[in-house]
Structure formats: structure tokens, C-alpha cells
Chain A
Amino acid sequence: MKYRMKYRATRPVRNAVALALGVSILFGSLSAYGSNASDLAKERVAQSDTSVEQARQTLGKSEHGTVELQQARDKLDAAKSALAKKDWKGAERAAAQAHLFAELAVAKSQSADARKSADEVLASLETLRQETERNTPTQR
């Protein structure tokens, strides 16, 4: 009972503390958002840098996907210059696009390789069919 009385007496104080806390969280999160935006953009650009480099290595001397790889490079350059201008949103967007183009470059190069192999397999199958038909014609 005695405890409860004490609690009730301190209620206005508690409200004031809560308000102060809420305000500080709000400011804190705002400042955190500011630093997060730049960190996030930097991280994205770094990630895209890796994606573009990986795409370059995957493509090797392949002709396929080179256009997309160049687009990825251009977007990466744009992202980096946006970073320099502290245009976090622009940097993040350009980085995201660079990443997508890098992925497209890889996908195009891989699909071209697969297509080439498939065509070779189909052509050799056709040759084999003709040969076996000539050597051992279907009987009866």
C-alpha cells in the first residue's frame, strides 16, 4: 500500500521522462538514418563493384554479354560519382542498376555458351543418326 502511494506520486515525472526518451529516440533514429543512407549507398556501390568484376571474369573473352558489361561499368561509374557528390539515393540506384546489368551480362554469356553446346550436341546427334542409318540400315 505504501509502495503504491509512492508510485502514484511519481507518475507525472515518469511521463516527462517518457517524452524525453521518445524525442531522443526520434532524433537518434533520424541521425542514424542519415548515416545509414550513406553507409548503405557505399555498401551497395562496393557490392556492385564486386558484381561487375565477377561478371568481367566470368565473361572472359566471350563476346556475349559485353554490351551489358559495359552498361554495368557505366552505371558503376555513375554510382561512384554520385557517392562523391553525396547523392546517396542516386548512388544506390546506379549501383543497383550496375548490379543488374552485371547479372544480365553473365546470364547472357552463359545462355550463349549453353546454346552453342546444345547446337553442337544436336548437330552431332544428327550426324550420328545419318551415319548409323547408312552403316546399319533399319531392317525389316
Chain B
Amino acid sequence: MKLNKRVVLSVAIAAILSACSAAPPRNESLETARAMVPQVEQSPRAGVAAMDISNARKSLEAANRLAEAKGKQADIEYEANNAVTSAQIANEKILTAQANEQIANGTAQRQAVLLQARERESQRSADQASASAQRVDSLEAQLADLKVQKTERGLVLTLGDVLFDTGQATLKSGAYGTLDRLATALRDKSGRKVLIEGHTDNVGSDESNQGLSERRAQSVQSALMQRDVARSQITAMGKGENFPIASNDSADGRQSNRRVELIFTEDQTRVAADQP
């Protein structure tokens, strides 16, 4: 008991001395080994350095036994130093494993990011494609219930004579709903163009028919422009009596011929080609 106290005291003095002076305490290696070995043993990646950790543990235990048995300082230090070096080797191997895991994870994540970006990119072009398809669809759908015909020239909507005051270019209020929807479809996409053509029957002089067809086309144009459609999207012209779609011999036929046709196009290349 007395001896133990003396040991404790001398260790305390040694510790104080070591704290004050630069000279290392005699059991520095053993203390280092005692601190380091459990550290590597407790590492979650201890498995990658099992051999080195086992060597470190054996050397540390040998050093501890020698220290307990008051063995030679050189022997204690030899074992303790070996324990420290083995623990250091284990530590480096653990760090290597850690770095390799990061490399593997990083590479996998890199792949994931690339894949994600590619998916996002293709999703975006798919979205764009479906959006533009949808727009064409919606244009057709919108205009479908307005008696739109799909022709070589594009989608053709015919505003019948009944939508105009008799012999006049003034649109009746019955045309407003149709015009609102046309304006919406045109405002939707500036690439859409509309060609407005006025037509008449063969009753009356050519000049008066030409004039009426022009004024009716222009009145549709102004109605669209009042609804915020850009002027650049609209072309209006009068075609007079020269393009009947029915016989002018019957009243019904003549009524069919008195019309304004709106021809829609949405062809980007044609729009581009239109520009000089």
C-alpha cells in the first residue's frame, strides 16, 4: 500500500516534470500506445486492418506486462513503440479505406447526377414537345367546334355571312365569342399567323364585291387587334367574288359564298422563310 502510494506520487511528479520540461516522460511510448490502440480497435473500419490491430494489441499487452513486472525500460519501450507503429499502420489503412469509400460513393453520386441531369433534360424536351403538341391540339380543339377545316393551307375557319350585317362589314355580336377564342389562340403563340380572306357572291359589281370583301376582312382584323393580337400575326385581304365555294345560282349557295375565311398557320420554318 505504501509502495503504491509512492508509485502514484512518482508518476504525478513525473507528469508535472514532463509538463514543465521538454524532456519526454519515460513511459511516453506506453501512454501513446495505450491511447492509440483502443482508438483503432474501436474504428468501424477496423476490419480492414485486423492484422495490424491484433499486432498492436499483442505488443501493447506485452508492454503492459513488462511494465507491471518492472521489466527493463528498453523492453517496455520496444513493445510500446511497436504497438504505436502497428496502430499507426492500422490508422493509415483505415483512412485509406475511408477515402476509397468516398471515391466509390462520389463516383456513384456522379453517375446519379449525370443520369438525373440527362433525365431532367429529356423530361424537359418531352415537356416542350408535348406542350407544343398540346398547343396544336388545343388550337385544333378550340377551332374544331368552330367548323374548322384542316386543309393544305392550314386550319381554315369560315365566318359565315350571318355574322355580318347584311351588305355591311360590321360584325354582329354573335361573332364576338368566336373572335375572343381566336384571339386567345393567336396570343398564345406569336409564331401563329392568320390570313384573313374576305369573299362575296356574284351579286353586284366586281368593285363593290371586292370592296366589301376587303372591308369585312379588315373588320375581322381590327376585331382581333382590339383583342390584343399582334398586327404582325395578321394578314387581311379581300378576294371579291372570284373564289366561290358553292354555286351562286341558289340563295343557299350565295350565302355560303359570302364569307370570311381565316387560315391559321403554325409552321415555324414557313414563318422564318416568310422573312426576307
Contact = CB atoms under 8 A, between A and B. Distances in A.
B172 to A, nearest CB: 45
Contact of A121 (B89, B103, B114): B103
Contacts of B31: none
A111 B93 contact: yes
A41 interface: no
B210 interface: no
Contact of B99 (A118, A124, A125, A129): A118
A108 B99 CA distance: 13
Interface string A100-119: 11011001101100110110
- The prevalent SS among residues of B at the interface is helix
B88 interface: yes
Nearest to A110: B96
A139 B131 CA distance: 15
A96 B107 CA distance: 39
A138 B103 CA distance: 26
A15 interface: no
B124 A139 contact: yes
A106 B107 CA distance: 25
B95 interface: yes
Contacts of A121: 102-103, 106-107, 110
B189 interface: no
Interface string B75-94: 00010011001101100110
A118 B92 contact: no
B102 A129 contact: no
Interface residues of A, number: 26
B96 A114 contact: yes
A18 interface: no
B15 to A, nearest CB: 27
Contacts of B100: 114, 118
A118 B110 contact: no
B141 interface: no
B99 A100 contact: no
B109 interface: yes
Interface in A84-140: 93, 96-97, 100-101, 103-104, 107-108, 110-111, 114-115, 117-118, 121-122, 124-125, 128-129, 132, 135-136, 138-139
Contact of B81 (A97, A111, A114, A124): A97
B188 interface: no
Nearest to A114: B99
Contacts of A124: 106, 110
12 contacts: A97-B81, A101-B85, A104-B89, A107-B96, A108-B92, A110-B96, A111-B96, A114-B96, A121-B110, A122-B102, A122-B106, A124-B106
Interface of B: 52, 78, 81-82, 85-86, 88-89, 92-93, 95-96, 99-100, 102-103, 106-107, 109-110, 113-114, 116-117, 120-121, 124
> 5 shortest A-B CB distances, which residue pairs?
A107-B92, A114-B99, A121-B106, A132-B117, A118-B99
